[in-house]
Structure 1
Amino acid sequence: MVTKKATATKGFASRFNFFGNIIAELRKVTWPTRQEAIRLTIMVLVVCAVAGVFLALADYGFAELVKRFFFPPD
Structure 2
Amino acid sequence: MAGIAQKTSKFLSNVVRELKRVSWPKRKELTRYTITVVSTVVFVTLFFALVDQGLSWIIATVFE
Q: Under a length normalisation based on structure 2, what TM-score does the superposition of the two structures give?
A: 0.93
Aligned AA (1:33): K
Q: Which of structure 1's runs of 4+ aligned residues deviate more than 2 A? A: none
Aligned AA (1:36): E
Which of 45, 69, 72 is 2:62 aligned to? Answer: 69
**CA-CA distance at 1:43 after TM superposition:** 0.7
Unmatched segments (≥5 aa) in structure 1: 1-7
Greater Rg, structure 1 or structure 2?
A: 1
The percentage of aligned residue pairs carrying the same residue is 30
How much is the aligned-residue C-alpha RMSD, in angstroms? 0.8
Unmatched segments (≥5 aa) in structure 2: none
